[in-house]
Structure 1
Amino acid sequence: MLSWKLPRLLNVHQVPKVFHEDSIICGYRSPTCSATACVLSLFQLTNETLNIWTHFIPTWYFLWRLLALLSSPGSYHDPYLWPLFVYLLSCCIYPLMSTCAHTFSVMSTQARHICFFLDYGALSMYSLGSAIAYSAYIFPDRWVNSTFHLWFVSWAVFNTIISTGMSCYSRYVYTGHTAYRWVGK
């Protein structure tokens, strides 16, 4: 018979400071969980459960919508739909990366930083996908082909790179540069 043993939950005083979340005092998973324990914790009420599931379910909805659009006749040959494809792809990537980040961030301190670096990048990619859709579909007619419109997506790419870099750097500075001294310390 198959038996699952759900991981024991901890309070804020039982986990290292790097794992603390503001105003969360209980429901923490062990900061050394295995990948299996992380997946099993999805079926347990932790301080991350609601966050994980509210990102995981929309991932599948947007993937379904993207695949439906891609399977429609002539969609590949209609250039008007390509910005929508990009936007829907970013709608799939962002919540999926957030789900993965919140699920697997308790494997180690190193995994936590890597997971959230990827989460920040995915969030920035979502903003870029939104900017591409905005540029293609929503710009006011009087702005189309203006200097602002011509540079809009380029500046969105720049913003994606800078905001991801700054988010990751702020996490690095906040942890007192310990993010890169993981092994053996």
Structure 2
Amino acid sequence: MSSPFIRIEKSVPHSPYPLIPSVPNSTMPSISVSLSLKPMSSLSSFLSSLSSLPHTVRDTEVPLLFREPYILSGYRPVGHSWSFYFLSLFQIHNETINVWSHLLAGVCVALRFSVFAVMYGLGLYLDLACLPLVYYVLSLLTYLCCSATAHLLQSHSELAHYALFFLDYVGVAVYQYGCALALYFYSSDPAWRRSRVGEVFLPAAALLAWLSCACCCFAKLSYLHPYPLHRKLCQVVPTGLACLLDSSPVAHRLVSRTWGDDPAMTLHAIQVLLFLLAAFFFSCPMPERFFPGHCDIIGHGHQLFHFLLSLCTLTQQEAVFEDFLSRRASLTREYGECRLQVAAVSFPALVFCSVLTAVIMRRLVERRLRKEDSWGEEVERG
């Protein structure tokens, strides 16, 4: 017997998408809330970690090794965990600008080179003509990263202080020789290369780069507060000679050429000016010498040195890029593959020698600190 009720079924059109099972409305708010709370809880824990960091202290509360002339406050206490010094990247202290200026410059260098490589095909193939440019950019990133790391973490302990600044000096030596390679192959004129300086340029640049690393490490190891004048001379003289030699191709070009037909000339001139200003603030503790305690966080000479050196690096990179584009096609024919191959081997050799020097100096420091500790224990027992 048929039912008196008629069942009507609505036809549902076929959908190409799979049916999604419905979720009860009661569970939806809890899912969205839990998803939104996860980043919030991570952020709150990060902020609480920052707020729990020890406050900065005055110069009288840190050992002599960590003090800088005329900088009276903003020091991080010594002897805390490594995590404290990593997190101090987001804390205000007298090294904050030193760290961030070189970190941001390193990011700019890497991004600019990536764009340049994509635009001009360096990512598609790498020949001998490109190798000095790659070494140059690697040397920029090396010195910027080593410098930022040293200034960020050096307050951990006496051994860390010495070892990290030895690493910083390695970065300086690597940059000096990477810069010498780029300026020799891309920015020099034939007349300069035929001169006496041009004939000995690359081996002399490698020797002075290593010597600047070794002398800076020796000065750091040998002289304590109050720093004598010959400590600064031991650092500045070999480094200054290396920089004078490395910039000689550009100096010859600036003097002997007209600037109008070469877009790189203005960039090279600006870079030289910025470097001279940076060298002045590195050599002289100004303006904090005249305002002790007033330039501790912002405005002391080493911060100005870092800032000007970052601008100098970015300007020089643009100038080298311009020179590379104008020389790339004829580079192998002009210099020969043999000279480019020697340069390709000499760069890692310089890196190895500089790192080895820093490792030896670190072991000397470790031995000296161990002797000082044992001597202190004997005095306490006696």
SS of alignment partner, residue 182 of structure 1: helix
Does the Cα contact within 8 Å between 1:66 and 1:89 map onto a contact in 2? no
Report which stretch shifted further, 26-35 or 58-67. 58-67
Which structure 2 residues correspond to residues 14-163 of structure 1 after superposition, within 5 A? Answer: 14-71=61-118, 73-74=121-122, 76-163=125-212
Query: C-alpha deviations, 1:31-52, integer Å up to 9, x for none?
Result: 1132110011111110000100
Letter in 1 for 2:151: H
Does structure 2 retain, via aligned residues, the 8 Å contact 1:128–1:160? yes
Change (3 A) 1:74 1:14: closer
| Shift in Å, 1:152 | 0.9
1:80 Cα deviation (Å)?
2.8
> Tell me, what secondary structure is at the counterpart of 1:98?
helix
For 1:179, the equivalent position in structure 2 comes to 365
Percent of aligned pairs sharing the same letter: 30
Largest Rg, 1 or 2: 2
Q: After TM superposition, where is structure 1 displaced by more than 4 Å over at least 4 residues in a row?
A: 69-72
The alignment partner of 1:73 has SS state of: coil
Deviation of residue 88 (structure 1)?
A: 1.1
Q: Structure 2: which amino acid aligns with 1:182?
A: L
TM-score by length of 2: 0.45
2-structure distance, mates of 1:73, 1:135: 22
Which residue of 60, 76, 79 maps to 1:13?
Answer: 60
Question: Contact 2:177/2:209 (CA < 8 Å) preserved in 1?
Answer: yes
Tell me the residue number matched to 2:214.
Answer: 165
| Distance in 1, Cα, partners of 2:207 & 2:194 | 20
SS in 2 for 1:158: helix
Q: Secondary structure at the match of 2:92?
A: coil
Q: Secondary structure at the match of 2:369?
A: coil
The letter of the residue matching 2:369 is W
Q: Is the 8 A contact 2:122 2:130 kept in 1?
A: no
Change (3 A) 1:136 1:107: same
Please state how far the C-alpha of 1:143 moved relative to its aligned partner: 2.3
Deviation at 1:105, TM superposition (A): 0.3
Q: What is the alpha-carbon distance in structure 2 between the residues aligned to residue 7 and residue 21 of structure 1?
A: 20
1:86 Cα offset (Å) = 1.3
Match of 2:293 in 1: none
Query: Shift in Å at residue 166 of structure 1?
Result: 0.7
Structure 2 distance, partners of 1:64, 1:92, is: 11
Distance (Å, rounded) in 2 between the aligned partners of 1:145 and 1:86: 24
How far apart, CA to CA, are the structure 2 residues paired with 1:81 and 1:69?
A: 12
Contact 2:56 2:76 in 1 (8 A): yes
1:41-82: CA deviation from partner (whole Å, max 9, x where unpaired): 111110000100001111111122333445553553343322
Tell me how large the CA RMSD over aligned residues is.
Answer: 2.2
SS, match of residue 10 in structure 1:
coil
Aligned length: 185
Structure 1 residues 156 and 41: alpha-carbon distance in aligned structure 2, compared to 1, 3 A threshold? same
Q: Is the 8 A contact 1:12 1:26 kept in 2?
A: yes
- Please give the TM-score of this superposition, normalised by the length of structure 1: 0.90
Q: Which runs of 5+ in 2 are unaligned?
A: 1-40, 226-360, 374-382
